[in-house]
Structure formats: C-alpha cells, structure tokens
C-alpha cells in the first residue's frame, strides 16, 4: 500500500515539475528506494499503454476517488508487474476492474497487431510524421447524379481529371487541382488531401457524399441486389445507409436503427438531402428488435457498424475511442441465441444446453463485469447472434469476391476483436472440443475482396478472410470489415464436432 502511494506521489511530483525520478524517489521517505524506483520507472515506460487501458476500461469514471497517478501504478503492477502483492483496499479496487482491463489489453494488442506486452511499447507504425496523408474521397451519389456528370462538373471548376488510378501510389502522388477515379470503388473520386468540398454545391445538394474510402467498403462488399430488404443495425449518421440505398437504387427497404436521437436527426436530414427514400428509421436499441417479427422476414442482408470498433484504426486517438464495447455483453447468456445447438430456447437459457452441454453464460467472460453499461456502443457479438436467428435465410447474391458464396444472411462486422469475440462466442460451447471458428454451424467467414491488399491479422482462425484498411497500407482511414455468411440450414444441424 505504502509502495503504491509513494510511487503515485513521485509521479505526481514529476508532473508538477518538482524534480526528476531519481531526486523524487531518493528524496521520499519510502524505505526501499530501489523497489520504488523500479515501479515508477516501469509505470512511466508503460505510460501511453496505461492511459489507453484506463480510458478503455473507464476505470476512473467508475472510481471517482482514485487519482490518476495511483491508478496508473496499480494497473501497471496488476497487468505488467508483480500482480499487486500488497495494496489493501486499493488492491481490491484494482482487482474489481481486472477483467475489463485485461480485455482492453487484448483489444489493444489486436489493434496494434502485436502479441507481447513489450511490443506494445514500440512506436506504432503509420502514425508518425512519415504516415501518408489520406486523400479526400468523394462518393458520387448515384441516386442523384452520375459519375461522368460529376467528373465534368469538377473539370469545369478547374480540376484536371487523370482517369482511373492504377495503384495506391497514384493516389499518393495527387496534388494541386487534380483528381482520379478510385482503383477499387467505381463511384469514388479521389482528390488531394485537404481539398474542402463542404461548401461545394454538389455536396450541399446531396449529389456527392464526403466519405472515406474505408467507410465505403461495407456497403460495397455487402452489395445487396436492388429490391432487397436490408438491416442497418447501427446506422446514424447514415453514410453507409445512403450508400446501401444507392446500391439498392432506392428499391427494397433498409430498416435502419440507432439509439442516439441527435445522430438520428442528422441522419434524417442527410438521407433526405441524398434523395434516399427506401428506408425506415427507428430510434431503437437494435438488440431489442425481434428477429422473428414478420416485417423483417425478407431481410437478407445486415450491416452492423457498432460504435468504436476502431480496430483497423491506427491513430492514437482511436485507442481511447475504441474502449468499452467489449463489456456490453454483460448478462448475455446462451439462452439468448448463442447456443449453436438450440434456438435460444428456455432450456438453453436455464441450466445449459442439453445438446452441447454448454452452461448458460459460461462462455461469456464479461458477465463478471460488476457494472454493465446502459448503452451499447459496439455490441457487435450479441447483435450478430441476434441477426443470425432472423428468419430470412433465402439464397441471395454472394458477397463480392466470394467464390461460391450466396446463402442467406450476410453480416458486416467491423472490429477485428469483435469478430474474434463473436466467432468465439458462436462456437464457444464447442470450442473446447476443437471446432474452428470458420466451421461454426451458424455462419462462415467469406473471403471478401481477395484483391484487397491488407488482410485481417491472425487474431482468430480465418482472419485473413477479413479486410483491414489503414492510412499506411491503403491510404484510407483505419477500418476492419468481416463478411459473414449464414450457412444453409443443412450446415446448421445441431452438433458439436471435434
Ligand atoms: C460507428 S457509428 C455508425 C456509423 C454509421 N454506420 C454510418 O456509416 O454513418 C455507431 C452507431 O451505433 C449506434 N449504436 C450503438 N449501440 C446501438 C444499439 N444497441 N442499437 C442501435 N444503435 C446503436 C450509436 O449511436 C452510433 O450512432
């Protein structure tokens, strides 16, 4: 206890500029100066990592009386040090947050693409001054205009059109008043970074949408056929909804949900401006939507873009914004749809599933979380499972690039750690028996867009089927997309395989 207090006092003193680590440690009256020095030095070394973990786990929001320097010392020792050998009530307090902190640590590693704690201390690649600037991407809203017309418009405004880009290098070298057609997405124009179109007539009239290339990938990959019914589970402010509507040619229906009133109001304005008519907007927690409601019976496509799933993101700011979503699964039980052997029925909800013998809630680590959150930023796994139960299992178009794909629901699940979690969750009752994620009885990962150069990190089996986007590799904002396909009923036969 005295050790942690003394270390926190040294950190505070350093922050106030009262001295360096040595003078403050040896000037303190703590008897074991070397032990104190080592703890402070290590806490400092892990400083940015500790900030990210504390942010993500929201520890200080919950523990209002816990000063930041003390929190850092405790979390350092808990996760990277000796494991809180002393500490009295602070030790008990820190241990209450252990599960969240460990989950944040795992997420941080996935986001950074590293496997060890030490690697977390290396500077992130692609975030230094050498990181390339992301161009200004402009999606042509084909509900209102055509690519050719927009190209002509910009030419009249003094821009030189250089044709279709041949490589990412072409995008990198854009400068001045030049623009290109993107090499991957047919309705995406690319301008030099910092080109500002917010006051441009085409933007204010909804003819163009200012949307990063990575954010255009989900709707493009989902590619619902005109007339389809689609769910956009976390939809506001609606960029992907409007993209979906454009792909659907405003035919069919998009059921769009979001919990945030303000964002929904923005979305309504945006969709009206973009000429989107084929949507039904609901302010509703998506997890409360009844997948068996007949109005969703024709849904074949689902786009799930939960908050803060920035695992593809590389910028330091995303570290904190990505926090929290892991914990929203509190209280999720096998009875609520994640048992592969039963349809979420009461038997599974009660004492466990008789078929695969999975105990209700057994796979769900965050169920130990003492403080479930009221909102659901990034509740991807429950959302996904919820959707997999939806009745619309007809054969549809396959995801782009998927050889032989074309069965039933397709789900886009940004967030690598969530994909991992979700797949884990789906197969978890059988995971101990060695079932791989891809052979899960409810869904399979589609090898999406095989020509996309940047693939998922090996955080779970089949991750290479997923797409990753980043400023350094693809000249886009960070993003992660997993395409999951519901297996045919024949594949969903209740069983646990070894
Ligand atoms: C990353 S944003 C979505 C961006 C949007 N897809 C787009 O392209 O413009 C995540 C959204 O999920 C919403 N959200 C979080 N939990 C939700 C839930 N349980 N049900 C519905 N919406 C939710 C948040 O309010 C937020 O607007």
Binding positions for S-adenosyl-L-methionine are: 234-240, 258, 285, 305
Average pLDDT value for the chain = 71
- Ligand 1: residue of 211, 307, 385 to mutate (most ligand atoms within 8 A of CB) is 307
The 10 Å Cβ neighbour count of residue 117 is 14
379 Cβ inside 6 Å of ligand 1: yes
Q: Residue 447 has what pLDDT?
A: 83
Looking at the predicted structure, is the pLDDT value of residue 157 above 80? yes
- In which band, very low, low, confident or very high, does the pLDDT at 374 lie, cut at 50, 70 and 90? very low
Identify the top-confidence range among 299-313, 332-346, 431-445. Answer: 299-313
Q: How far is CA 289 from CA 18, 73, 444, 481, in A?
A: 56, 43, 23, 23
Ligand 1 centre distance from Cα of residue 260 (Å): 8
Q: Residue 68 has what pLDDT?
A: 92
Q: Residue 99 has what pLDDT?
A: 86
Identify the top-confidence range among 125-139, 257-271, 370-384, 416-430. Answer: 257-271
Looking at the predicted structure, is the pLDDT value of residue 44 above 70? yes
Residue closest by Cα to atom 27 of ligand 1: 236
Q: CA 480, 484, 485: angle at the middle one, nearest 5?
A: 160
Ligand 1 centre distance from Cα of residue 469 (Å): 20
- Ligand 1: residue of 259, 310, 323, 414 to mutate (most ligand atoms within 8 A of CB) is 259
Q: Residue 124 has what pLDDT?
A: 64
The string of pLDDT tens digits covering residues 111-151 is 777 778 888 887 665 555 455 789 999 999 999 999 999 99
Residue closest by Cα to atom 14 of ligand 1: 234
Q: Residue 121 has what pLDDT?
A: 84
Q: Residue 1 has what pLDDT?
A: 59
Catalytic site includes residue 487? no
Q: Residue 443 has what pLDDT?
A: 56
Q: Residue 383 has what pLDDT?
A: 52
- Name the nearest CA neighbour of 282 among 320, 332, 345, 232: 232
Q: Residue range 334-341: average pLDDT?
A: 29
- Ligand 1: residue of 236, 269, 327 to mutate (most ligand atoms within 8 A of CB) is 236
> Any idea of the CA torsion for 379, 425, 348, 497, to the nearest 10 degrees?
160
d(CA 337, CA 318): 31
- In which band, very low, low, confident or very high, does the pLDDT at 396 lie, cut at 50, 70 and 90? very low
306 Cβ inside 6 Å of ligand 1: yes
Least confident of 24-33, 35-44, 153-162, 350-359: 350-359
Q: Residue 117 has what pLDDT?
A: 85
Residue closest by Cα to atom 19 of ligand 1: 285
User: Residue 210 phi/psi, 5° resolution?
Assistant: -85, 100
For 454, the token pair is 């940047």
Q: Residue 110 has what pLDDT?
A: 78
Helix or strand or coil: residue 483? strand
Q: Between 407 and 477, name the one with better pLDDT.
A: 477
110 Cβ inside 6 Å of ligand 1: no
Q: How far is CA 473 from CA 59, 119, 340, in A?
A: 34, 20, 37
Residue closest by Cα to atom 25 of ligand 1: 260
Q: CA 146, 152, 155: angle at the middle one, nearest 5?
A: 145
Q: Residue 307 has what pLDDT?
A: 57
The 10 Å Cβ neighbour count of residue 363 is 21
Element (H, E) at 436: none
**Residues near 131 by Cβ (< 8 Å), separated by ≥ 6?**
314, 471, 472
d(CA 14, CA 408): 59
Task: Please report the sign of the dihedral spanned by the C-alpha atoms of residue 142, residue 144, residue 145, residue 150.
Answer: negative
Q: Residue 223 has what pLDDT?
A: 85
User: Residue 445 phi/psi, 5° resolution?
Assistant: -75, 135
Q: Residue 460 has what pLDDT?
A: 60
Least confident of 29-33, 109-113, 184-188, 265-269: 109-113
Length of the chain: 498
Q: Between 280 and 121, name the one with better pLDDT.
A: 280
Q: How far is CA 14 from the centre of its chain?
A: 36
The active-site residue out of 216, 430, 443, 496 is: 430
**Residues near 38 by Cβ (< 8 Å), separated by ≥ 6?**
none
The percent of residues above 70 in pLDDT, for the chain, comes to: 65
Least confident of 78-87, 115-124, 346-355: 346-355
Kindly provide the ipTM of the predicted complex, given to two decimals: 0.99
Indicate which atom in ligand 1 lies nearest the CA of residue 307. Answer: 10
DSSP H helices, 113-260, are 117-120, 147-156, 168-172, 201-204, 213-222, 239-247
Q: Residue 267 has what pLDDT?
A: 94
- In which band, very low, low, confident or very high, does the pLDDT at 444 lie, cut at 50, 70 and 90? low
Identify the top-confidence range among 101-110, 166-175, 399-408. Answer: 166-175
Q: Residue 351 has what pLDDT?
A: 35
Residue in the block written with tokens 């996904």: 384
Q: How far is CA 400 from CA 29, 218, 237, 242, in A?
A: 66, 11, 25, 19
């Amino acid at each position: 206890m005295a050790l942690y207090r003394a270390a926190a006092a040294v950190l505070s003193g350093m922050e106030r500029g009262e001295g360096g680590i040595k003078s403050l440690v040896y000037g303190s009256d703590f008897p074991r100066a070397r032990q104190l020095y080592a703890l402070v030095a290590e806490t400092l070394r892990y400083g940015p990592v500790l900030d990210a973990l504390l942010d993500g786990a929201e520890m200080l929001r919950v523990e209002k009386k816990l000063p930041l320097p003390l929190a850092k010392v405790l979390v350092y020792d808990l996760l990277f040090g000796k494991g809180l050998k002393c500490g009295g009530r602070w030790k008990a307090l820190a241990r209450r947050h252990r599960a969240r902190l460990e989950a944040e640590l795992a997420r941080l590693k996935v986001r950074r693409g590293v496997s060890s704690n030490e690697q977390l201390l290396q500077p992130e690649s692609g975030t230094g001054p050498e990181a390339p600037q992301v161009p200004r991407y402009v999606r042509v809203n084909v509900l209102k205009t055509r690519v050719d017309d927009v190209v002509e418009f910009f030419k009249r405004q003094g821009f030189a059109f250089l044709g279709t880009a041949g490589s990412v290098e072409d995008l990198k070298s854009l400068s001045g008043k030049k623009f290109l057609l993107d090499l991957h997405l047919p309705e995406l124009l690319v301008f030099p970074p910092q080109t500002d179109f917010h006051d441009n007539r085409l933007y204010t009239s909804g003819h163009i949408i200012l949307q990063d290339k990575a954010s255009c990938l989900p709707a493009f990959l989902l590619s619902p056929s005109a007339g389809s019914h689609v769910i956009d589970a976390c939809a506001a402010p609606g960029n992907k909804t409007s993209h979906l509507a454009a792909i659907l040619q405003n035919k069919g229906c998009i059921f769009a949900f979001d919990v945030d009133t303000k964002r929904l109001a923005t979305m309504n304005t945006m969709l009206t401006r973009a000429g989107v008519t084929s949507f039904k907007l609901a302010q509703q927690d998506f997890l409360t939507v009844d997948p068996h409601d007949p109005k969703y019976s024709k849904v074949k496509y689902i786009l799930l873009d939960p908050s803060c799933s920035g695992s593809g993101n590389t910028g330091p700011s995303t570290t904190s914004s990505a926090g929290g979503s892991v914990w929203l699964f509190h209280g999720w039980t096998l009875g609520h749809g994640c048992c592969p052997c039963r349809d979420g029925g009461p038997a599974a909800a009660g004492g466990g599933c008789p078929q695969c013998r999975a105990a209700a809630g057994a796979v769900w680590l965050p169920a130990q979380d003492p403080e479930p959150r009221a909102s659901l930023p990034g509740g991807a796994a429950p959302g996904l499972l919820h959707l997999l139960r939806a009745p619309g299992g007809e054969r549809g178009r396959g995801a782009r690039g998927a050889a032989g794909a074309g069965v039933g629901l397709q789900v886009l699940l940004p967030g690598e750690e969530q994909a991992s979690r979700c797949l884990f969750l789906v197969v978890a009752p059988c995971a101990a028996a060695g079932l791989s994620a891809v052979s899960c009885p409810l869904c399979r990962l589609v090898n999406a867009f095989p020509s996309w150069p940047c693939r998922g990190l090996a955080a779970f089996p089949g991750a290479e089927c997923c797409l990753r986007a980043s400023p350094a590799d693809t000249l886009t904002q960070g993003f992660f997309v997993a395409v999951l396909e519901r297996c045919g009923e024949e594949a969903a036969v209740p069983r646990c395989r070894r």
